[in-house]
Chains A and B, each alone.
Chain A
């Protein structure tokens, strides 16, 4: 019973990290059909910014995190507006190649600037301790992760369904040609969504720094996991990403508790089964 609770809590925390990083990629894939394999690099940049601000510049965690997220969003917006949008019409393989090249450059740049060691984010005293839940001690940071993940999911759902921007976004995803003839500023929507996706990735990198250590190869190392979540959840589906992330995160955590010698086997078997059953996404038909 104890193990079951452990699996659920740790799995939820891990799934939330994956969700926050993946949701941006899911939206840009669904919206712009742009295969952005440098998405992991944005998560890395966000984490590194937060690490640098909290450690070197000695800023408070609560101040450093929003600034780091904003910086990542800015980087995303600039890259999108200057370079990436020229690739929207290109073949998928070209996009893959370009964004892999971009990831390589970002990895090398990160190493050149910060060195190859793992970067630690200095947590505030509130989060640095552990919370005693009775049956186990949970690092307080994990609670933040779960809370933040739920908040992101709620905020994303609210933005998409209740705001004008959300309407524009959904229209643009469904049919950008018609949307632009109706006067919806497609370029703005694309740039803003990309920047938001990058910002969320950066946030995910910060939240996940305990589970997925920040080092220069981060950009490519966890890319597969993020792609898996996006594929299983369905491109463009926020709810799908959430469901996929939590489900797969729990399965991976369960296998670590119960059958760690098998590595990530169950994660990928589950992924293959889910994808084969619902190729268009968990919650789509």
Chain B
């Protein structure tokens, strides 16, 4: 992965204003709406092509959004975290509890999920972001396990280990009821994913996003430049929390059930694996990784549930030994000829 080396603020400003070198990965020349539009078209095509597997496709959209939010934290800000599921899960539970006790409108519930995710990130980030590296990683694990324990304890609100169920979503926009085949759920998730993908793109390509990338590359230097490092990271973490909360809310609404597995360490680890598989830092890599991993899991698990671990384990080891970035570069070289 090539990141621009920003050695001088003027040079950095020049790089933003006039992106010349095509070998750089960010900032891009492409307009920020192009990738989301492509995503929308691809998603709708998938829905049309496989109308009886919309459940799986919806799951891919939601997982993609979750891994996208993780990419902001891991790929852009460089903070390796194994506790991201806490943000997802709390978004899911918030949306579920809201639908069960207050109002079953999906869009309101989505808003509640976003707020829940953002608030959790805000509060936990205030504590977590004071640390770095391995300490930060372990503290994210601690926070997410604490959240899990609290949710398990609060049986009356969350259903504990039995999960939260029994709520039915009202029709979307008052007209589109969630149907058995999952058509409404799929399009709803896709639209939310595309919109939030666009938002993420804009943020990453903005000066704020560049500052965060700078912090990733060299924290001390950015601090020396006068960047309020903690505040930048905190804001980014909160935004990532909002996206994760949205993914959680979508999951709660399209499944009409929330389980404690949405807060589990396994989910955080799986998301991290998906992200690294697809390539961290590019945002699109998050979506690719989520899609490939989910499809592989689905296929292999239906053939043999245990042996699928051979497949994914082998794939992971292979991908590390043969990084995808190099693989793509090699493919491009073979296809494009001279480089």
CB distance from B248 to the nearest CB of A (A): 21
Chain A residue contacts of B265, Cβ below 8 A? 224
If A228-B141, A268-B142, A275-B142 touch, does A101 touch B314 (CB 8 Å cutoff)?
Answer: yes
Chain A residue contacts of B145, Cβ below 8 A? 224, 264, 268
Q: Is there contact, CB below 8 Å, between A101 and B138?
A: no
Q: Is there contact, CB below 8 Å, between A263 and B149?
A: yes
A196 CB within 8 Å of chain B: no
In angstroms, Cα B310 to Cα A102, docked, is 9
Q: Is there contact, CB below 8 Å, between B316 and A279?
A: no
Chain A residue contacts of B306, Cβ below 8 A? 108, 111-112, 116, 216
Chain B 303-335: CB-based contact to A (< 8 A → 1; otherwise 0): 000111110111111011101000000000000
Q: Is there contact, CB below 8 Å, between A231 and B307?
A: no
If A97-B316, A112-B306 touch, does A263 touch B280 (CB 8 Å cutoff)?
Answer: no
A81 CB within 8 Å of chain B: no
Q: Is there contact, CB below 8 Å, between B153 and A105?
A: no
Chain B residue contacts of A227, Cβ below 8 A? 138, 141
- Select which of A87, A216, A220, A271 is within 8 A of B142 by beta carbon: A271
A132 CB within 8 Å of chain B: no
If A107-B309, A231-B134, A265-B150 touch, does A100 touch B139 (CB 8 Å cutoff)?
Answer: no
In angstroms, Cα B130 to Cα A276, docked, is 9
A59 CB within 8 Å of chain B: no
Q: Which segment, of A2-10, A88-96, A118-126, A139-147, faces chain B?
A: A88-96
Interface residues of B in 258-314 (CB under 8 A from A): 265-266, 269, 272-273, 276-277, 280, 306-310, 312-314
CB distance from B189 to the nearest CB of A (A): 27
B152 CB within 8 Å of chain A: yes
Chain A residue contacts of B312, Cβ below 8 A? 101, 104
Q: Is there contact, CB below 8 Å, between A275 and B313?
A: no
A69 CB within 8 Å of chain B: no
Main secondary structure of the interface of A (DSSP, over half): helix
Nearest opposing residue in chain B for A35, CB measure: B134
In angstroms, Cα B309 to Cα A112, docked, is 11
Nearest opposing residue in chain B for A104, CB measure: B313
Chain A 260-284: CB-based contact to B (< 8 A → 1; otherwise 0): 0111110011011001100100000
Q: Is there contact, CB below 8 Å, between A105 and B320?
A: no
A98 CB within 8 Å of chain B: yes
Chain B residue contacts of A102, Cβ below 8 A? 313, 317
- Select which of A90, A97, A103 is within 8 A of B319 by beta carbon: A97
B13 CB within 8 Å of chain A: no
Interface residues of A in 233-285 (CB under 8 A from B): 235, 261-265, 268-269, 271-272, 275-276, 279
Chain B residue contacts of A116, Cβ below 8 A? 306
Q: Is there contact, CB below 8 Å, between A97 and B320?
A: yes
Chain A residue contacts of B74, Cβ below 8 A? 93
Q: Is there contact, CB below 8 Å, between A272 and B139?
A: yes
Chain A residue contacts of B149, Cβ below 8 A? 262-265, 268
Using CB atoms and an 8 Å cutoff, list the residues of chain A in contact with chain B. Answer: 35, 87, 90, 92-94, 96-98, 100-109, 111-112, 116, 216, 220, 224, 227-228, 231-232, 235, 261-265, 268-269, 271-272, 275-276, 279
List 9 contacting pairs A-B, 8 Å CB cutoff, sorted by A: A94-B276, A94-B320, A100-B269, A100-B273, A108-B309, A216-B306, A220-B269, A231-B134, A232-B138
Q: What 7 pairs across the A-B complex have the smallest Cβ distances?
A: A101-B316, A104-B313, A265-B149, A105-B313, A108-B309, A231-B138, A101-B317
